Structure 1
Amino acid sequence: MALARKRMRFVARRLAQSIPLLIAVIVLNFFLLKLAPGDAASVFAGQSGSSSPEYMAKLRHQFGLDVPTHVQLINYVTNILTLDLGYSFRNQMTVAALIFDRLAATLLLMGTALLISVVLGVLLGLIAAMRVRTWKDNVISVFSVVVYAMPTFWIGLMLIVVFSIKLEWFPATGMESVAMFNTGWDRVADIATHLVLPSVTLSLLYMAVYTRLMRGSVLENSNMDYVTTARAKGLTESSVTFRHIVRNAILPVVTMAGVQLGNLLGGSVVVEAVFGWPGIGQLAFQAIFARDMSLLLGIFLISACLVIVVNLLVDLLYTFLDPRMDL
């Protein structure tokens, strides 16, 4: 019970510390987007074929762009405090509805990619460290370096060419076969089939990082005094490896996985564009060209909240992996 209370206090303290961070993210993103050339009014005017001063003034008033920048910022922050993320005139929907309609697809893609990268990265890194300076270590090390050096979009395109076009094993685009009208477990299987190539593409880069990190961490922990003591007690090598070395060596991997969540979100934009995956990454890609500032700000805010929550969960996971950690 005492440990549970300490964890609850830790969560409350971290959430309170996140409030200034979220405010900084909101303000910084607002001014960064303001520095970008063009706005939604100019895009709409160009698409409609009319750019008369009267029409532009009407659009800017409709989008709230005819007031000073500081007033726009105050209005935006006020709306956020009332849980109003704004309205996307481009999509004729509220920003919250647009984001939460796409968020599940992105979370599915990111969660699957994170699971693949961490599990395979830890496994390959452990194998390389246990077979250091052998052909297995060399193959895994070379593979991780080569994969890390390849651009994500290129990997995605090559997977489409090989596994979708040549072998016809997996679909190339989309999240599911809408025309099939699948329901129940058939729909789950269909989505899983569409998920394979995007998740593998997104996970390969991070898997290479975790492989190298796990290998180095295992080799470092293998020379620690506590490992020597465990072996002196007569424990088997497998018990020493999995009960002592792996449990401590995996901590840097867990930390890196939490830190790189923002990069994973950024990578999902490229992957979703390549595979036509209907997530917030593709939505952000479309919003950039439409200069849909309200939608972009909403996506950035939700992404920041997601990163904060995941890092909090990572810190809590630390307390289970290493009970000595002070909350």
Structure 2
Amino acid sequence: MTSDTTTALPAGSGDDPAGGAPDARARSGAGTGLAKYLLNRVSGAIVSLLAVLFTAFFIFRILPGDPIQNLMTDMQSASPELERALRAEWGLDDPLHIQFWSYLTGTLSGDFGTSIQYQVPVLQLFADRVLPTVLLGGVALILSVLIGFSLGAKSAWLNGSKFDRRNVNIALIFFSAPTFWVAMIAIIIFSRELRLFPTGRMVSAHTPDRFWPQLLDIAHHMVLPTITLTAMIYAGYLLTMRASMLDEMGNDYITTARAKGLRDVVVRRRHAMRNALLPTTTLVFMAIGNVINGALVTEMIYTWPGLGYTFFQAIAVPDYPVLQGLFVIFASATVLANLAADILYWFIDPRARKT
């Protein structure tokens, strides 16, 4: 028979050994679930990174052209002896498996080799070209997120209206249009016809070498590339945000919030939009990876001196160390961004913990 004292003990007190067991089991289960989730995601990322390493070496060996012969066309004292010396210097006379092993060991140790075209270490070349890429991509990313999320949420809230149809149609056009086509249209209208913005490089040659004139000139040169890149990115955010908002608007908590007399703008921003942001997390992190990638086509068309334009220049040689290093950086940035998004999903979305 149980005593009154024992019966009166609160659940989970120090005198009841079994009282805290459910909470302990829940914490243990959550920890085990997180460990399995991280193991699956990290192992998948490692496999993807290994595939990137293998692909980066072999994919560029099938490009037409010989980098040494292309390099010697600009030399006045070219000779067979010089060609053999250059091939030996860059290890291009070794068997393919020896070249691959040298590339693999160097890449894993952080050494991407020396550029054939520029005669400088690849990492030094990357360091010189990464700032324009981050500047252009970062500004375009911020604008794309702000425009895409806000217009997508409002389009869903006004589903079926003229505002909704107009925004969806414009987004679909940009989402399906080739980047080079949008860039060429922007150049024809804003540069050739209206003569409002320059289309080449990052700074004009006649700009004084002072901080404010340089800053204003860079901003002037950034307008067209930023508009082009923003137009190509924001459409995906708008369409995804709109679809996510439409799913949320059918839930009971939206009806409850409206029944309380809250204004539509408050219900949309503080309730529906906050929950609708969850599915867009992966898109944002993927875009961060694309910022590092450098918007290859945009930089190529506008000759923006970033990593994307460097990649385009290296293809013409072909400059194997630069191409391999950039490919590894581009692809790894995307893989790691997706991994970060998956990990963040565990903490912000309870549905991920049930998978």
The TM-score range, normalised by the shorter chain, is: 0.7 to 0.9
Shift of residue 316, structure 1, vs aligned partner:
5.9
Give the Cα separation in 2 of the matches to 1:106 and 1:228: 45
Who is 1:65 aligned against? Answer: 92
Cα RMSD, aligned residues only: 3.2
Who is 2:235 aligned against? Answer: 208
CA contact (8 A) 1:11 1:312 kept: no
1:77 aligned to 2:112? no
Residue type of the partner of 2:153?
L
Residue type of the partner of 1:107?
V
Give the Cα separation in 1 of the matches to 2:211 and 2:294: 30
Larger Rg over CA atoms: 2
TM-score, L = length of structure 1: 0.85
Shift of residue 225, structure 1, vs aligned partner:
3.0
Q: State the SS of the aligned residue for 1:132.
A: coil
CA contact (8 A) 1:251 1:321 kept: yes
Q: For structure 1, which segment, 305-314 or 198-207, has the greater mean C-alpha deviation from structure 2 after superposition?
A: 305-314
Q: State the SS of the aligned residue for 2:111.
A: coil
Give the Cα separation in 1 of the matches to 2:306 and 2:109: 25
Shift of residue 16, structure 1, vs aligned partner:
7.6
CA contact (8 A) 2:116 2:321 kept: no
Who is 2:167 aligned against? Answer: 140
Q: For structure 1, which segment, 39-48 or 87-96, has the greater mean C-alpha deviation from structure 2 after superposition?
A: 39-48
Q: What whole-Å deviation, never above 9, does each CA across 1:244-290 have from its counterpart, x for those lacking one?
A: 21012122223223335666666721111111100011111110011
CA contact (8 A) 1:95 1:294 kept: yes
Q: Summarize the Cα distance change of 1:98–1:141 in structure 2 as closer, same or farther, 3 Å threshold.
A: same
Residue type of the partner of 1:170?
F
Residue type of the partner of 2:249?
S
Q: For structure 1, which segment, 27-36 or 221-230, has the greater mean C-alpha deviation from structure 2 after superposition?
A: 221-230
CA contact (8 A) 2:115 2:121 kept: yes
Gaps of 5+ in 1: 1-6
Residue type of the partner of 2:240?
L
1:166 aligned to 2:193? yes
Map 1:254-293; keep pairs closer than 5 Å.
Answer: 254-259=281-286, 268-293=295-320
CA contact (8 A) 1:102 1:279 kept: yes
1:38 aligned to 2:65? yes
Who is 2:280 aligned against? Answer: 253
CA contact (8 A) 1:41 1:63 kept: no
1:184 aligned to 2:203? no
1:118 aligned to 2:118? no
Give the Cα separation in 1 of the matches to 2:291 and 2:186: 19
Who is 1:4 aligned against? Answer: none
TM-score, L = length of structure 2: 0.79
1:154 aligned to 2:204? no
Please state which structure has a larger fraction of its residues in helix.
Answer: 1
CA contact (8 A) 2:134 2:292 kept: no
Shift of residue 176, structure 1, vs aligned partner:
2.0
Map 1:16-27; keep pairs closer than 5 Å.
Answer: 18-27=45-54
1:93 aligned to 2:106? no
Give the Cα separation in 1 of the matches to 2:323 and 2:96: 17
Q: Summarize the Cα distance change of 1:81–1:29 in structure 2 as closer, same or farther, 3 Å threshold.
A: closer
Residue type of the partner of 1:242?
R
Give the Cα separation in 1 of the matches to 2:176 and 2:352: 35
Q: What whole-Å deviation, never above 9, does each CA across 1:198-233 have from its counterpart, x for those lacking one?
A: 011012122222212211211111002332344455
Q: State the SS of the aligned residue for 1:93.
A: coil
CA contact (8 A) 2:122 2:322 kept: yes
Residue type of the partner of 1:162?
I
**Number of residues paired by the alignment?**
323
Shift of residue 154, structure 1, vs aligned partner:
1.9
Residue type of the partner of 2:268?
T
Aligned-residue sequence identity (percent) comes to 38
Residue type of the partner of 1:227?
I
